[in-house]
Amino acid sequence: MKTLEGKTALVTGGTDGVGRLVAQRLGAAGARVLVHGRNAPRGEEVVARIQARGGSATFLPANLASLAAVRELAEAVQQETDRLALLINNAGVGSGRHGAPRETSADGHELRFAVNYLSGFLLTRVLLPVMMAEASSRIVNVASVGQHPIDFDDVMLIHGYDGMRAYAQSKLAQIMFTFDLADELDGSGITANCLHPATFMNTTMVREAGVSPWSTVEEGADAILNLAVSPTLEGRTGLYFDGLRESRANDQAYDSKARQRLRDLSLRLTGPRSRPGA
């Protein structure tokens, strides 16, 4: 990996699984890493590991099931740095056990839509000014190959809830947001790309869903870091990758009207403070 000396990176969900490995590898490459997570002991352990190898890291706690906590996280990032070179929106909630009941966030939104999508939408938009302060910066949204079209008449899945559908819908929302953001930021120096890192990695999320792992977190980390730091992707934006290969997402992601509906809904749900720098 190329040297990242002098660069600051934020990794959400950086205390476990693939996010933990990504944070540690960024630290080893010289980046100052802002490690987000909910579990303070695990967060401090990741920071200690990075520092033990000569790197620089800070733990920033936040429960992304609360939009107020997301705003507090954005404020904490802005207090830590005025230039952010890399934002990796990796934190997420899995599909849960089959037949598990519908859950809601602190704000009353369907939990997977809130944590997997809305939190990253809000965090990214608030942090855009500190990303624009960097000559060239990258946004990487960690999505999934599991994607389900959004029913705009029942986005919160009040009727006929299914955990896998909720998860897949939230992941497609991430991809749609990525494409929309890439168009918005074209020419700004900020690129936005997304990916399915690997299938059923050996992570807590996969194990909690009762699924036997198919791949490793090392494979997933390689794919994420490819979008994050590869020189071959300099200036390229609005892309979806399946692992290390450029691929095609669900058809709804390429529907500009659907993306606009999602953007309008997201701005309403996150409020006026979701504008850049708010």
| CA-wise closest residue to 91 among 57, 54, 56, 66 | 66
Q: Has 167 been annotated as catalytic?
A: yes
Query: In angstroms, what CA-CA distances link 63 with 67, 79, 102, 268?
Result: 9, 18, 19, 21
Spell out the residues 6+ positions from residue 206 whose beta carbon is closer than 8 angstroms to its own.
Answer: 94, 200, 213
How does DSSP assign 79-140, residue by residue? HH-S---EEEE-------STTPPP-B-TTSSBHHIIIIIIHHHHHHHHHHHHHHTSSSEEEE
| CA-wise closest residue to 145 among 223, 262, 255 | 223
Buried/exposed code over 144-169 (b: 16+ C-beta within 10 A; e: otherwise): bbbbbebeeeebbbeeeebbebbbbb
d(CA 183, CA 187): 9
Cβ(15)–Cβ(37) below 8 Å: yes
| CA-wise closest residue to 201 among 22, 17, 67 | 17
| CA-wise closest residue to 221 among 5, 38, 27, 72 | 27
Catalytic residue (choose from 161, 167, 240, 254): 167
Question: Hey, which residues does 245 pair with through a beta bridge?
Answer: 242
| Residues catalogued as catalytic | 167
